[in-house]
Structure 1
Amino acid sequence: MTLVLGIDPGTATTGYGLVRDREDGSLESIDFGTIQTPPRIEAHKRLSMLFSQLNELLLLHRPDSCAVEKLFFQSNVKTAIAVGQARGVVLLAISEAGLDVSEYTPNEVKQAVTGYGSAGKKQVQEMVRVLLGLPDIPRPDDAADALAIAITHLHTRRF
């Protein structure tokens, strides 16, 4: 059984989701949530907080591998830079933990989870709920996205 940590990076909110594949081929949600940083502090302090809290998650759960959403072009340059900085911190923490990391685009995640690369956010969230056997769609959205990234990695590994 493999435990995968999925990460949806962001400076203000980073989603995380831990998914294990069972011997029978089904998937199990182990933990999910967000790492949030206060908006009114300097960027370097927010990134440091992200790094520290992510390291705590890595130590607590000891995943076998990690999957991170790839940065895609955004029209808002400020947002793209902030997400890029958060991704760098996430990749550093994973690397320092000695883990391999795989990266997936939003369309790859949609394709792997729903079978349709242009699926809407609600479709992806509902499939995450179904695939993990959860009673409700995981909240907040960043956590659901991180679970979808972990599921993508597990599905991709199978092939």
Structure 2
Amino acid sequence: MNTRILGIDPGLRVTGFGVIERIGTQLRYVASGCIRSPQDGSLPERLRVLLEGVQQVVDTYSPQEAAVEIVFVNVNPQSTLLLGQARGAAICGLVSRALPVSEYTALQVKQAVVGYGKANKEQVQHMVRRLLDLPGDPQADAADALACAICHANASSLKAAHGELADLRRRRGGRMMR
């Protein structure tokens, strides 16, 4: 079964998006890019641009699932609040189009893509390029969004496999046969 997944890397100035398709165990690149809000606009205007931009991406690429990176507290509380509002606008854009949304920490995303939870942006870009067989490294925000989608594809594959194993155990009376 093919599943199209949209990854979102939220940001108030730049929100990255990445769309991949999971075909069995294979991942295929579909699209990626950035939604840019006007730096000189008011906060409500910038959030509207992000909300509508996410809705447009969903309408254009028709994903079945979405994954969004979880925001953690930064040194600057004001920046954290603004980033949280941008993340909220992105999530609202997804749920307004009836998409199921999963959330992952940056540590989880980097672990899934690079194998190291403290990987730098260049390492993430490089591994996204390799995993999706791209001709070059994607832009940093788009790479982070693609990495989030890859993380979700891997997590949902594991979850499905775990569910199949649990079903097999139930059919065998709660134990596995060797």
TM-score by length of 1: 0.95
Aligned equivalents of 1:144 and 1:83: distance in 2? 18
Amino acid in the other structure paired with 2:114: T
Aligned equivalents of 1:135 and 1:112: distance in 2? 21
Other-structure match for 2:154 = 155
Aligned equivalents of 2:121 and 2:54: distance in 1? 25
In structure 1, the residue corresponding to 2:146 is in which secondary structure? helix
Other-structure match for 2:82 = 82
CA drift at 1:131: 0.3
In structure 1, the residue corresponding to 2:63 is in which secondary structure? coil
Other-structure match for 1:50 = 50
CA drift at 1:155: 0.6
TM-score by length of 2: 0.85
> Please, which moves more after superposition, 90-99 or 101-110?
90-99
CA drift at 1:90: 1.1
Amino acid in the other structure paired with 2:5: V
> Please, which moves more after superposition, 49-58 or 147-156?
49-58
Aligned equivalents of 2:52 and 2:123: distance in 1? 33
Confirm or deny that 1:145 pairs with 2:149.
Answer: no
Aligned equivalents of 1:121 and 1:49: distance in 2? 25
1:4-153 matched pairs, under 5 angstroms: 4-23=5-24, 25-139=25-139, 141-153=140-152
In structure 1, the residue corresponding to 2:118 is in which secondary structure? coil
Count the aligned residue pairs: 157
Aligned equivalents of 2:120 and 2:38: distance in 1? 29
In structure 2, the residue corresponding to 1:2 is in which secondary structure? strand
Aligned equivalents of 1:91 and 1:52: distance in 2? 11
1:23-75 Cα offsets, whole Å, 9 max, x none, are: 3x221111100000111110001111111121111111110100000011100
Unpaired segments of 5 or more residues in structure 2?
159-178
The share of aligned pairs that are identical, in percent, is 41
CA RMSD of aligned residues (A): 0.9
CA drift at 1:22: 2.0
Which has the higher relative contact order, 1 or 2, with Cα contacts under 8 A spaced 6 or more apart? 1
CA drift at 1:120: 2.1
- Whichever of the two has the greater Rg, that structure is 2
